[in-house]
Structure 1
Amino acid sequence: MAPPVLLSRGFDPLLGVFTGVFAYYLYETNPRTAFPPDQQLTALVRWKWLKWKTARDERLDALEKHEQALFQSSRDTDTTK
Structure 2
Amino acid sequence: MNRPVLLSKGLDPVLGVFTGLLAYYLHETNPRTAPPPDQTLSALVGWRMEKRRQEQLQKDQEAETGDWKQVVGETK
- Give the alignment's TM-score, normalised by structure 2: 0.72
**Structure 1 stretches of at least 4 aligned residues deviating more than 6 Å after TM superposition:** none
Cα drift, residue 2 of structure 1: 5.0
- Larger radius of gyration between Structure 1 and Structure 2: 1
Deviations 1:3-44 (CA, angstroms, capped at 9, x unpaired): 444344344333322221221111010011111111111111
Gaps of 5+ in 1: 77-81
Q: Match of 1:17? A: 17
Counterpart residue identity of residue 53, structure 2: K
Q: Match of 2:58? A: 58
Counterpart residue identity of residue 30, structure 1: N
